[in-house]
Amino acid sequence: MADFLAPVDLSKLLVSVGQKKAALTIGKMLALGILAGVFIGFAAHLATTIATGPCEWIGLKKFLTGAVFSVGLMLVIIPGSELWTGNNLMTVALMEKKISVGALLRNWIPVYVGNLIGSIFLAWMIAKMSGLTNGVVGTTAISIASGKCMLTPTQMIFRGIGCNWLVCLAVMMALAAQDISGKVWGIFFPIMAFVSSGFEHCVANMYFIPAGLFSKGFAAAAEKVTPDQLDALNVGGFLKNLSFVTLGNLIGGAIFTGIVYWWIFVRSTEAKN
């Protein structure tokens, strides 16, 4: 017996998964969304730490940063929580008319808000209260955050598309796996690929940019970055990045992954039966 689901079975499973997510209470959606924001934040801080310091081979640093960031989605999927970017796959259930647009938004909005709360809380805890970014790690946090704020809207959108295309494929691979080791490896490669490639994830940025903002308060962190980087890193830049990256993530996850797989494997197979 195969130890993973075939694409047709996996795509049909997404219908029932979407229905279950839509049936959660608002309170559970919000609480599970907060947890997911925290889990992604843990991975983002780990990635920031790994990215700190010189490395002669930039590809190696990017690979290691992406490799450790995959821990975030492992924490989301295996113990269980609600991540807005992964929940973009609920469009499979929507297209099958198993959930309504209202039910979809009823999940997406509380989960997105929960992700934001959890991510900012962890950024405050780590970058403001723990002192872990009072130094070179803080310099890296500021550099990462300011770089995200300095992207153009077009760059944000298209990097967001590439990101959630891979994230949703990672979620699908984890669902297809029938044991925990399969889920780990199914998550690892697509997430490593999106981070190493430089794509943009809205929930990760809910941690990265606030962490940079909080780190600006440490002289030891801020003194080693340029004035242009410090000027670009502000609340307006955060909201701009979040808006355009979210749009890109929505296109990559809800349309390029969810709707495409529904059209190929769910709609067509049902039409033949």
pLDDT tens-digit readout, 165-193: 999 999 999 999 999 999 999 999 999 99
Q: C-alpha distances in angstroms, 261 versus 138, 153, 188, 201? A: 41, 28, 21, 21
pTM: 0.95
Q: Does residue 65 sit within a domain?
A: yes
DSSP lists the bridge partners of residue 177 as: 4
DSSP lists the bridge partners of residue 4 as: 177
- Across 220-240, average pLDDT: 95
What is the C-alpha separation between 65 and 25, in angstroms, rounded? 35
Q: Give the residue among 138, 143, 141, 145 at the shortest CA–CA distance from 218.
A: 138
Domain range for 239 is: 7-268
Query: Which residues neighbour 111 within 8 Å (Cβ) at sequence distance 6 or greater?
Result: 29, 30, 32, 33, 36, 82, 83, 84, 87
DSSP lists the bridge partners of residue 135 as: none
What is the C-alpha separation between 237 and 205, in angstroms, rounded? 11
pLDDT at residue 45 is higher than 90 = yes
Q: Does residue 273 sit within a domain?
A: no
Q: Does residue 245 sit within a domain?
A: yes
Place of tokens 């940019």: 209
Between 194 and 3, name the one with better pLDDT.
194
Average pLDDT taken over every residue of the chain: 95
Q: Does residue 49 sit within a domain?
A: yes
Overall number of domains in the chain: 1
Q: Does residue 221 sit within a domain?
A: yes
Q: Does residue 35 sit within a domain?
A: yes
Query: Which residues neighbour 154 within 8 Å (Cβ) at sequence distance 6 or greater?
Result: none
pLDDT at residue 57 is higher than 80 = no
pLDDT at residue 272 is higher than 50 = no
CATH of the domain at 235: 1.20.1080.10
Query: Which residues neighbour 270 within 8 Å (Cβ) at sequence distance 6 or greater?
Result: 96
pLDDT at residue 49 is higher than 70 = yes
Place 44 in a pLDDT band, splitting at 50, 70 and 90: very high
Q: Does residue 149 sit within a domain?
A: yes
Q: Does residue 67 sit within a domain?
A: yes
N-term to C-term CA, the chain: 25
